[in-house]
Amino acid sequence: MFTVISSDTDYFHKKAGLRMGRVKIKFPADNPLFTCTIPVRIGDINYGNHLGNDSVLSIIHEARMQMLASWGFTELKAGNNSLIMADVMIAYRGEAYYGDTLTVKIYAEEIGPRSFDLLYHISCTRNGEPKEIAHAKTGMACYDYELGKTANLVEPLKSKLT
C-alpha cells in the first residue's frame, strides 16, 4: 500500500525545515519474498558525498534481479512471463555512504491479472544502529516483447509472488 501525498515530513525535509507532501510506502506485515545485501560502491556516490538517487534505482534493479535469479528466472524469462517496469516511486529516508552495506527486503502487493507491485525496504546498520535509507515501489507488468503488448501473469511466477 502506498500513498502519493501524506502530511509526513521525512528526514530531509525536517532537516531543511520544509513542510510538503511526500510519497509514503507502507509495507505488509508478512515476511519479505526476498532479502539481499548490496554494498554501496564508490560509483554510487554523488557530489553530496552520499548515495545518489540514480544509484537507488540501480540498487533496486539489482535486488530484483537477484530475487528472480534465486527463483531460476530473469526479467525476460520469469517462468512463462517477461517483465517490464511500468512505474517507480522512491521515498528517500536517510543517507547512505561509501562502505555501507545495504539490506534490501522485497515484498509483492497489488497482484493483478497482468501486473504487480514490488516494494523495496532499503536499510543499513551503521555504528551498530539500524538506518532506513529508502522505500521504493516498482510497478511491474507482464509483457510480450514480440507482440509489443502486456500479457497475462501466469504460473510459475504468479505463485512465487503470493
Is 102 contained in some domain? yes
What's the CA gap between 23 and 84, in Å, rounded? 22
Positive or negative torsion for Cα 35, 91, 137, 31: positive
Task: Evaluate whether residue 51 is within a structural domain.
Answer: yes
CA distance 132 to 121: 8
Q: Which three cell numbers stand for residue 132?
A: 532506513
Per residue in 75-104, pLDDT (tens digit) is 999 999 999 999 999 999 999 999 999 999
Domain count, the chain: 1
Which one has a higher pLDDT value, 10 or 110? 110
The domain of 107 spans 28-161
User: Is the pLDDT assigned to residue 5 strictly greater than 60?
Assistant: no
Q: What is the CATH number of the domain that holds 140?
A: 3.10.129.10
Question: What's the average model confidence in pLDDT over 8-33?
Answer: 71
Residue 20 lies in a domain: no
Which of 22-48 are b and which e, b meaning 16 or more Cβ less than 10 Å from the residue's Cβ?
A: bbbbeeeeeebbbebebebeeebbeee
pLDDT of res. 18 = 62
